[in-house]
């Protein structure tokens, strides 16, 4: 590996996320949560999570550490895995699938990407940051330094859910350790780091909550961030009154999280087209 590869954006972002995660965890474990008394300074401070350990309650600290580790592993899995790149050289199975797709009645024809010149399946999009076409493209996540697409989107939603649990628990631990008292200079020296951690966790919790809610809404309606934002620019969605891929809440969730088959995107698009034409003729 070339030395400059260690300074690539992906390595720097993932290293920064890892350091920040364990740094905040250390602050929550090591910071004094006891209410300080200026007249009687404490000589043996009790850290937040280690207070449970001293009381013999090991389950809660271990559970918190396992959740932090699980969220970090999920983050690395989503950021390092193939999000669903379209192969530049199609395999025989993919060529047969593309031929079958082209035979679907009234299905939108495949188009060739103007950047990497591959035949784009329906719902795929070229990512300029990754320089590849991604199947069922959702968005490029700068915090992951990777695309979110067909293969890693379910793991991305699971990561958001687990990360939100960790953030909210950490937010509770930070708040429980903040005891405001005067003089403020002494309080700032003793609790300034924990207060900064609380503010950081508050921002991260808000962002994670909004992201999780928006992605659950999109998953429930079987659409992507790119399709939701840019439906007026996408050929297969332009001038269409409804989402042709929506199969109902239960089937959408089952297909997304469990991989239950619901037909190819091209077949669903053609079926929606036929339903709309049949409805217009009936009117």
270 — pLDDT class (breaks 50, 70, 90) = low
pLDDT at 182: 61
| 84 vs 151: CA distance, rounded Å | 5
Marked catalytic residue, from 130, 141, 147, 258: 141
Contacts of 208 (CB under 8 A, 6+ apart): 160, 163, 164, 167
Contact at 8 Å (CB) between 112 and 119?
yes
First to last CA, the chain: 65
Contact at 8 Å (CB) between 87 and 94?
yes
Which residue from 2, 157, 22 is spatially nearest to 77, judged by alpha carbons?
157
Sign of CA dihedral 101, 102, 107, 109: positive
94 — pLDDT class (breaks 50, 70, 90) = low
Q: What is the pTM of this model?
A: 0.81
E-assigned strand segments in the chain: 111-112, 119-120, 125-127, 132-134, 139-141, 146-148
pLDDT at 47: 53
pLDDT at 240: 76
Sign of CA dihedral 254, 258, 263, 265: positive
Find the range with the poorest average confidence among 134-138, 219-223, 275-279: 275-279
Checking if the pLDDT of 153 tops 50, the result is yes
Most confident of 51-65, 110-124, 137-151, 178-192: 137-151
280 — pLDDT class (breaks 50, 70, 90) = very low
| 248 vs 241: CA distance, rounded Å | 16
Is 127 noted as a catalytic residue in this protein? no
Over residues 119-144, the mean pLDDT reads: 92
| 151 vs 81: CA distance, rounded Å | 8
Higher pLDDT, 238 or 180: 238
Contact at 8 Å (CB) between 173 and 194?
no
| 224 vs 149: CA distance, rounded Å | 9
Output the average pLDDT for the chain. 80
């Amino acid at each position: 590996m070339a030395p400059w590869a260690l300074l690539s954006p992906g390595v720097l972002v993932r290293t920064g996320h890892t350091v920040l995660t364990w740094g905040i965890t250390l602050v929550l474990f090591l910071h004094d949560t006891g209410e300080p008394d200026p007249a009687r300074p404490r000589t043996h401070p009790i850290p937040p999570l280690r207070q449970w350990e001293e009381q013999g309650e090991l389950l809660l600290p271990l559970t918190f550490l396992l959740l932090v580790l699980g969220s970090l592993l999920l983050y690395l899995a989503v950021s390092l895995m193939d999000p669903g790149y379209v192969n530049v050289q199609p395999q025989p199975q993919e060529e047969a699938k593309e031929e079958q797709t082209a035979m679907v009645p009234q299905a939108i024809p495949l188009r060739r990407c103007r950047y990497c010149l591959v035949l784009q399946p329906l719902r795929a999009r070229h990512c300029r940051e990754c320089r590849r076409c991604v199947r069922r493209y959702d968005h490029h996540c700068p915090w992951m330094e990777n695309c979110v697409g067909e293969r890693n989107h379910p793991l991305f939603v699971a990561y958001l859910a687990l990360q939100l649990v960790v953030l909210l628990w950490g937010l509770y631990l930070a708040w429980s350790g903040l005891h405001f008292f005067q003089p403020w200079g002494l309080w700032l020296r003793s609790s300034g780091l924990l207060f900064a951690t609380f503010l950081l966790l508050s921002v991260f919790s808000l962002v994670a909550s909004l992201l999780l809610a928006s992605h659950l809404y999109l998953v429930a309606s079987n659409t992507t961030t790119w399709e939701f934002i840019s439906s007026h620019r996408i050929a297969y969605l332009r001038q269409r009154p409804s989402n042709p891929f929506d199969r109902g809440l239960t089937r959408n969730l089952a297909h997304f999280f469990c991989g239950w088959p619901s037909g190819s995107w091209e077949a669903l698009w053609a079926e929606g087209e036929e339903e709309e034409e049949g409805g217009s003729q009936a009117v």
